[in-house]
């Protein structure tokens, strides 16, 4: 079995990259199921209903999210869909915790897969969240019957992602880092756990991690205090990984990086 996981889809160029590349990859690589992180899809923040339906029509089967999940007014409608998870480790006193689910169990090729979305401690948010290490440890102690567990760990620092991998290797089947938008070269299989620090971004290849560079550069030059996050428009890149597993033995075989840049 092969599962394709697409890194943070960001803005119109990210949507176009999916449209132009996904079907070819599915055919050439014999992909069985497609998961994508969609938290930056709609103009760089969140995923609205229109873009959700468009990406589904292009062949994405399931979505994970991140810290920009709750940016659009139709968010409760999107998060109510059966094929999407938002970060699980929200403080239950936060109103946003009432919408959607942090993990879901789905059937793929007669196997039960649990897909989990977690925010790292290193991600700055305007809302309260709980510790992802403690959340996942509790979850795994209480749920021992899953055939296959995939975790999208949406975190800022490479150190936190590496520590998370070392803590949970051999307890989950895949830990896929997202959020930093730069694909790392450390994909590996250790103790039956597939890992990469960051899957990378699917979006504009010439911006600042997909965003328009002007106000970001001005901020770094101390010419302004805050930047304006908006997608850059131009040539795209498509970042993803392919997870291959032996579904009869619940054993992983390999993780393969994909990085396609528009000519």
Q: How far is CA 44 from CA 3, 13, 168, 207, 229, in A?
A: 25, 10, 31, 12, 7
Residues 65 and 67: their CA atoms lie apart, in Å, by 7
Residues 193 and 171: their CA atoms lie apart, in Å, by 8
Q: Cα-flanking dihedrals φ and ψ of residue 211, to 5°?
A: -95, 155
Percent helix, strand, coil in the chain, to 5, is 25, 30, 45
Of these residues, 68, 72, 179, 181, which one is catalytic?
68
Long-range interactions of 124-130: CB distance < 8 A, separation 24+? 124/67, 124/156, 125/67, 127/90, 127/91, 127/94, 127/96, 128/90, 128/91, 128/93, 128/94, 129/87, 129/89, 129/90, 129/91, 130/89, 130/90, 130/91
In the annotation, is 68 catalytic?
yes
Residues 2 and 30: their CA atoms lie apart, in Å, by 7
> What is the sign of the dihedral through the CA atoms of 223, 226, 230 and 234?
positive
Residues 239 and 257: their CA atoms lie apart, in Å, by 8
The encoded tokens of residue 227 equal 């930047």
Which amino acids are annotated catalytic?
68
């Amino acid at each position: 079995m092969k599962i394709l996981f697409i890194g943070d889809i960001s803005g119109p160029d990210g949507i176009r990259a999916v449209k132009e590349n996904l079907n070819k990859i599915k055919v050439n690589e014999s992909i069985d199921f497609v998961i994508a992180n969609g938290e930056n899809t709609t103009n760089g923040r969140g995923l609205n209903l229109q873009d959700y339906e468009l990406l589904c029509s292009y062949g994405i089967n399931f979505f994970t999210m991140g810290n920009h999940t709750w940016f659009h007014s139709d968010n409760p409608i999107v998060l109510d869909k059966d094929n999407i998870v938002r970060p699980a480790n929200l403080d239950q006193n936060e109103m946003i915790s009432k919408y959607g689910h942090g993990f879901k169990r789905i059937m793929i090729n007669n196997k039960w897969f649990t897909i989990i979305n977690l925010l790292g401690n290193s991600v700055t948010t305007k809302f309260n969240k709980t510790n992802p290490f403690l959340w996942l440890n509790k979850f795994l102690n209480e749920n021992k019957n899953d055939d296959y567990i995939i975790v999208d760990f949406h975190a800022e620092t490479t150190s936190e992602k590496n520590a998370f991998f070392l803590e949970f290797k051999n307890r989950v089947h895949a830990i896929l880092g997202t959020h930093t938008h730069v694909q790392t070269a450390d994909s590996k299989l250790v103790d039956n756990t597939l890992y990469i620090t960051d899957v990378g971004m699917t979006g504009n290849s010439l911006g600042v991690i997909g965003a328009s560079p002007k106000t970001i550069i001005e901020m770094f030059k101390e010419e302004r205090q805050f930047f304006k996050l908006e997608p850059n428009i131009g040539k795209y890149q498509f970042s993803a990984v392919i997870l291959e597993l032996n579904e009869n033995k619940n054993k992983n075989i390999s993780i393969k990086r994909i990085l396609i840049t528009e000519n």
